[in-house]
Structure 1
Amino acid sequence: MDQPDLFTAPTSAAEDPATSGAKRRAQALRSQLHHHAHCYYVLDAPEVPDAEYDRLFTELQAIEAQFPELRTPDSPTQRVGAAPLPELQPVRHAVPMLSIETETNTTAAGAEAFDARVRRELGLDLADPEVEYAAELKFDGLAINLRYEQGQLVQAATRGDGETGEDVTQNIRTIGQIPLRLKGCSAPVLEVRGEVYMRRDDFERLNERQRERGEKTYVNPRNTAAGAVRQLDPGVTAQRPLSFYAYGLGVVQGWDLPATHAGLLDALQALGLPVCAERVVAQGAAGLVAFHQRVAALRDGLPFDIDGVVYKVNSRALQQQLGFKTREPRWAVAHKYPAQEQATRLNGIDVQVGRTGKLTPVARLDPVFVGGTTVTNATLHNLFELRRKGVRPGDQVIVRRAGDVIPEIVGRMPGARASYVPNFAMPRACPACGSAVERDKGSIEHRCTGGLVCPAQRKQALLHFAGRRAMDVEGLGDKIVDQLVDAGLVRTLPELYKLGFVQLAALDRMGEKSAAKLVERLEASKQTTLARFLFSLGIRHVGESTAKELARHFGKLDALMDADEAALLQVADVGPVVAHSIHSFFAQALNREAVNQLRACGVHWPEGEGAASSPQPLAGKTFVLTGTLPTLSRDEAQALIEAGGGKVSGSVSKKTDFVVAGESAGSKLDKALQLGIAVLDESRLRELLAEGP
């Protein structure tokens, strides 16, 4: 229930209707925003998406701009953040942690408007040179102030309300990226400011573990990171995969400040602090627009969430000349991107059958623009996740889309339902083929038992089989597979190789030239490798890396097919679950028959090509690739490492032996340096391949 606004004066009898209406609306907006800020910052349980909060905030800003007399001391527009939690000790910021003005126009005009304001404040005209800016990413995490004395970390505090934060020193010490002592710095006081955040892959792995345990999943990386930092038990924080980027300063005593913001970031990096590599020095409005557009194109591929970019006048002297307005610097602005959380209506829940037979509940939504695209469907993961979120058809729900992650339902908007809606239940029969649906004991997943007789699994199995990293049948895409399966031309994998030119040319939108090319690609795909063939079969839990290990260990397919679980457990990276899955797959007569038919159709590979016949120079070593190498593509470098007996991982950890870094290497290089892992360039990698580690 909304609380009364203590700073709103009674409406006078002489007040005009426009002012009276604006006053009531401003009061309502303040109450809503205070409530949502408390849920977001204090309770870590947001009730509305960020875009809805921004809309309410912008509306209040507009009212206060039109009616300045309605601006009250407690208005959300007059404060920076939220009050600290009472359980944590307060920390007074000697230099306030101020907010940055937000530019919500997500087009190029937003950058142009900021540049025009800066030039106007500096008294520049068209004849004057362009203003130089430092442009960087706007991280979606929790702002932190790190206080170093004589180079040693002595205190860490949250931003709080900008004036007073919370002491989270012991929790911050658990984050490996944050140095406990700075390199070559003996300044009496140096306060470094930055953002604690959680990478998307770390967040997904954390939630997957929660699902496997049947425990509550987390809403988004930002709130998960914030909750972890503000835990009363540092041991809990240590179990959360947190990261950090530095981007500014607080109190400085006895340390020479660089003349530019870009120089400051370079200096912080030299001290051993992680600084994001996605930053540039831009000239004028055109430079800002180019950066905003380039980052927009990269956004989905970034390993962490951002909701915009930040522009700062690069020269510190010009920053001082521009100064501040109220609680915001005139020399900086945050330029937003389309929101990645939005509210919409859940119209219904369907069930999707995956290529492995897994049944996934899928939300059918009123179209909503979120994360730069229009979303009409979103995953609900599984029955237990759906029940925990408490969503039912007819609800207003929050949809989240981050990067290339499939859109998902975060939860329902608060409010009572108009009438009773029954809980969703998973079907007992597969919606695609009518086969029985089963759930393994202790598992959270429901699966169709139909296998290749299930059209849904058949199509996905064919697409996976023909994939670039599997059998690499170029031209065999979704639409062609749909037609082949729907027409009954292909029911099993071997039937792909029995297709003729006439059959393919008769397909819709398949001309003679395309049909002839597809026949050629099918014939060419017959010559492959054992690892690719194993991966193409779609065995549950067997990805590319595991397929390569199986091929390397057994060398021959028959040896693998006849292996029991004990023999399979001798393969690197194969545990009990994977061993059981592989053994079960080859124990099925239909699967063995399909494999034998594929070989009878001419699918082949060099006999024994998987097994290593001699000691390999990189055997037992784990590599991580980052950046752009001079002559090798990522796939080529990976192939060379694996041919040398090494393994390529997607993330840096204490188990990593080498990081191979090229131009524009990012956070993986930063983490390698932090952990003291050896970093190689391409030439040194080639030397290792020749001589061994």
Structure 2
Amino acid sequence: MNREEAHQKIVQLRKELEDHNYKYYVLAQPEISDYDFDMQLRELEKLEKEFPEFDDPNSPTKRVGSDISKEFEQVEHRYTMLSLSNAYSEEELKDFDTRIKKLVDEDFEYVCELKFDGSSISLLYEKGKLARAVTRGDGTKGDDVTNNVRTIRSVPLTLRGNNYPENFEIRGEVVLPFKVFEELNQKREENGEALFANPRNAAAGTLKMQDPSIVASRKLDAYFYYIPGEKLPADSHFEMLQKAREWGFKVSEATKRCKNLDEVFAFIKKWDEKRFEYPVATDGVVIKVNSRRVQEELGFTAKSPRWAIAYKFKAESASTVLRSVSYQVGRTGAVTPVANLDPVPIAGTIVKRASLHNQDIIQKLDLHLNDTVFVEKGGEIIPKITGVDPAKRHPMSAPVRFIKNCPECGTPLERKEGEAAHYCPNEVGCPPQIKGKMEHFVSRKAMDIDGLGQETIELLYNQGLAKGIADLYRLEKEQLLQLERFQEKSAQRIMDGLEESKKAPFQQVLFALGIRYVGETVAKILAKELHSIDNIRNKTKDELVAIDEIGDRIAESIIDFFSKPEHIEMIEFLKKQGLQFQISEDQLSDRTDKLSGLSIVISGTFEKHSRDELKQLIEKNGGKNVGSLSKKTSYLLAGDNMGPSKREKAEKLNIPVISEAEFLHLLKT
């Protein structure tokens, strides 16, 4: 066979194998035997080996996953991967429906889909070929797991048809089918290995393995449910799902357009009863507004889209016996009581412990030792005690009494007025608080220091090498090399990670400090508004509360944090180490106050900039992005395909409507 003939044969085999792959894994309608498929695959492998110049990363032969990746590259998402708000009752769905109707002045319909219990993934396709696969990560950036995802046979490496966008992203869920999960655990049991707790954990863990050949052997599956972006072929989310199916993606047949809430409730009822017949784990139903234009009009909160919600199926429940209550101390000093139970199977896992949250919950349940209690998984994830069977209580059993002193350091506990939790105030001498603060500081969403995890922090603390955050930057490589399990490479990795962390932007450093109630979102707001740690430290409570989304509780916590000399001493030390405690000059040089005090709503599609780019321009110039029109809105920035109802509402409220060109002119003046 000459070179040209080989090329034609390779192209032909690739196409035929992808067709068979699609019919088997997506349509579940195989046309040839497994043996015939394997023979064709072997023929293709042989030709690709003989003619390496025709290598293609999207060839069906690459699904076996032969390359070993050393680590995962961090990739920023083009469109943020937000989580969904949850609902647990029909009343909460009615509230969701009411909120939308208040914001939208037109009729709309919903799309209901099963909520798969796996690991979220975002795929990028360029010219019909899989270019990149990224995990959710922190929603802003995730891990590049392309090599692993190529092994999933329900993921198209090359799209079908030719009417797909040249470049687009698609979101989905990587899952492990029940049947495969059971087979996997059976093999692990035979080999004396620890069993996986549930299919979700097994899927997530498999997706992050370093060896794609092992990933391939795990037989992961994937379902797809959303295409973000602009200038897509259809406004209807439901129609986009049908197009995705035509392009070769596995889209659940359990997807339905619903005209009203009654149809939504009927869908939920049907699948609440049938969900255990499905081949993969589902934990609820996702309800989305169908029109993408209306979705854009509704916009997002800081954490989730306003146009979608997840209804969670009622958790499985079981009864067991409460044997004892222990107490855990978190990094903020909060003390959480934990129920120790006789092991009981619930929703596919063995439950031995359940959170009791606080003293009020214990009193409300009237818990006694050796009570028979009812346990369920809240949201199918965290076990909790929902009740007690008093008929089975022994008359001499002792009631559970909340402790008065810290179980770790013996300090008397405190409970602030209006708060449910008890706290240990000894933050500088209570071991779990100290270790917890260090673990938070080095975590991915904070300083993201490579090589420093919970076990290493525990080791460093126990060896006296790190008794606080500042000590991490006092570490020397020689000290690490003297510790058990540390070699040259692992020690250098930590030193490099500490050095790299000095480049982390100010908002990450602020979040990493672990100030109570200052999460990621609040840290970003404070950094954007006040620019430096010194400006934050010098603000009064009234000045802090005047900042959007900063309430009394957050302001009081910030002032309390900076009132403690040990915190000021730590910050001054970290400054000297080179950590970023202010927004960089480059970032500040881009900022202006041209839009200061202005609230702007963006709607439609634009010629020169994407919606995200326009939002960044608004923020950089001191303006505020808002999702819906109100009397306080300064401008409606209108693009193509904007709904007529939005323009009508703007006119009714006397809100100026400006084009992209007019907006850009505002920035030049």
TM-score w.r.t. structure 2 length? 0.49
Structure label with greater radius of gyration: 1
TM-score w.r.t. structure 1 length? 0.47
